Amino acid sequence: MATINVHEAKTNFSKLLSRVESGEEIVIAKAGKPVAKMMPLANKVDFRKSGSAKGRVVIKKDFFAPLPDEILKEFEE
């Protein structure tokens, strides 16, 4: 993990973002004291294509039927 001072971070922000994109974590320091950390986002959003699971998911006819009493009791306890 690299530590960069504020002035250098402002000057090289685009380069630092590229490093972070590749997985590196960078600490930003002010007067030698760490104040912030740049790190990649944990969850990248992958866009789903509509209909991509067609034919793989089957919803049975009784899907909306009431649950049996023994299972409903489990929820109430």
DSSP 20: H
pLDDT in tens, 30-47: 999 999 999 998 766 677
pTM: predicted TM-score of the whole model, two decimal places: 0.53
The reported pLDDT for the residue numbered 41 is: 86
pLDDT over threshold 80, residue 25: yes
Q: For the chain, which domains are there?
A: 2-38 (3.40.1620)
Query: What DSSP letter does each residue of 41-75 carry, written as one string?
Result: -S-PPPPPPTTTTTTT----TTTTSPPPHHHHHHH
More confident call, 42 vs 7 = 7
More confident call, 45 vs 17 = 17
CB 8 within 8 A of CB 19: no
